[in-house]
Structure 1
């Protein structure tokens, strides 16, 4: 597996990560299957795993994905010392919906629970503020993250669903290493809103969430002719083409495709060997 530096941290991680969300929502697979998927990802050399406290069914199930990942890492027979797990906090799941909560007291509490969900014996590798809450300033909401870094609960901090101006404000509070915004063939805003260029210039990792368009859209990749045609020409899946397309967009990009089946993470890992020419990238750009 190809590796790359995570922002300017000096830490090398796999150039493609694993997104844990599909393993913990209401249609989740059996736990044993999810653990097998995580173990297979590790076998393939994947050393970056993305999760969140809100990857769960509802509030009664909070932190499910974090605990699942910790269980999988603890039961893996190989070396996991180089694995980086990035989690997030700041979203609530009342009755399975998604709402923002940037209340500093809530964030202090959820950071502590996330720390314990990962075993409580080493700092959280990366904790990301999941989405800015308009009810609180960015400075108020990120103060608990800064405190947690100083207390040894968090190693690195990132942000998610942030604009350039919001990232700049966040960096005035605490050092930021990663930005996680939506980016897919259907959602290309990072190319035009300045966030991708900013991450590249400032040495921040850019983690595109929902790279395949999410559960409602991912099957529609077959209907984008340029992507389907390139997949056929190169003998790979449309998903591998999308991951290669994203990686071609910026050296800052580290895709985190979700998986709940071994075949899915195996397919994503194969994308590391898919190279697109500038002309092929333009074909996809024009088609999307």
Structure 2
């Protein structure tokens, strides 16, 4: 596995998004299964693992901490704060955002305990809080760095302007946003250009279109009742049916190259810059291997252009989020 740089951190070319192991998709796995997945990932060279306090809530950090305990010296663990998670811990979704300095510190302390680590390698603000100046929030995050409780700082779903303001307070190592063949907001809103200019790493989540671009999802009835994709506009039946045409085109291109559609989609993301480290998630070792193997695929300029055109965002039916979540992104 080759490595890439996210600000001050060196990670594997591709990471593992851990959310789906215990949150979001209704396919939670037990500790034994997760342990095998973590062990295999590290054996294959994956060193970057992503979680958050809100996943579960809380249980995903515990799962990741236990699963990576034996590999701690060789891995980079990222977690996030910023959503309101407390009395409604059993609720399906948080009720809002909170990036007040005292909340930042409280979450960091709690995350350290749940992960069972002495330092958080990459600490993200999960969503920008419109009621707290980013300078104030990053200032609090920087204090954690000074105290040795956090190594590097990150933002998630922030605008280019916010990223610049944050970076002026303390170096930001990475920004995490949704990015894939069918979600390319970071290209048009200036975030990728800002990362290139300032030397900030970019971490795409859902680089496989929340599973859609793998070609494995053809029937919405296969989604569990608790699968959060049921509430996303792109997975409304009408939009879903329309988007299947794009998946079919991707499958045809992949077959011509002798690879899987998901691998082709990941290879496209990886080719967009050496500062990009995608974090596809999975609960299955076979899928993990497939994702890792995508790092060995080389695409020509013609391949990249064709893929960009065949699965262009303007051909995608439905927004990526509903109105409530959309308001939290790109601040």
State the TM-score, normalized to the length of structure 2: 0.79
Partner of 1:131: 127
Contact 2:15–2:48 under 8 Å retained in 1: yes
Give 1:5 deviation, angstroms.
2.4
Which residue number corresponds to residue 30 of structure 1?
A: 30
Give the CA deviation at 1:50: 1.1
Distance in 1, matches of 2:295 and 2:15, equals: 11
Q: Are 1:210 and 2:233 an aligned pair? A: no
| 1:104 corresponds to 2:127 | no
For 1:272, the equivalent position in structure 2 comes to 295
Q: Give the Cα–Cα distance (whole angstroms) in 2 for the partners of residues 110 and 215 of structure 1.
A: 30
Q: Distance in 1 between matches of 2:280 and 2:250?
A: 17
Separation in structure 2 between the aligned mates of residue 87 and residue 119 of structure 1, nearest angstrom: 13
Structure 1 position 92 matched with structure 2 position 84 = yes
Q: Is the 8 A contact 1:196 1:250 kept in 2?
A: no
Cα distance, 1:234 vs structure 2 = 2.2
Query: Structure 2: how far apart are the matches of 1:102 and 1:70?
Result: 24
Contact 1:123 1:153 in 2 (8 A): yes
Q: Cα deviation per residue 1:106-154 (whole Å; 9 max; x = unaligned)? A: 221001111122224x211010111101122112222321111111110
* Cα deviations by residue, 1:219-270 (Å, 9 ceiling, x for unpaired): 3786424421221122222111111000111221111001111111111111
SS at match of 2:54: coil
User: What is the CA distance between 1:81 and its match in structure 2?
Assistant: 1.5
Deviations 1:46-95 (CA, angstroms, capped at 9, x unpaired): 01111111111xxxxx3211211111112x4xx54221111111123541
Query: For residues 143 and 4 of structure 1, what CA distance do their matches in structure 2 show?
Result: 27
Query: Does 2:65 align with 1:67?
Result: no
TM-score when scaled to structure 1? Answer: 0.90
Structure 1 12/222 Cα, relative in aligned 2: closer, same or farther at 3 Å?
Answer: farther
Q: Distance in 2 between matches of 1:216 and 1:270?
A: 19
Contiguous gaps of at least 5 residues in structure 2: 219-242, 313-331
Equivalent residues of 1:200, 1:251 under 8 A apart: no
Which secondary structure state, in structure 2, belongs to the residue aligned with residue 152 of structure 1? coil
1:215 shift after superposition = 5.3
Compared with structure 1, are the counterparts of its residues 239 and 123 closer, same or farther at alpha carbon in structure 2 (3 Å cutoff)? same
Q: 1:186 aligns to what?
A: 182
Distance 1:223 1:270 in 2: 25
- The number of residue pairs the alignment matches comes to 277
Q: Which runs of 5+ in 1 are unaligned?
A: 57-61
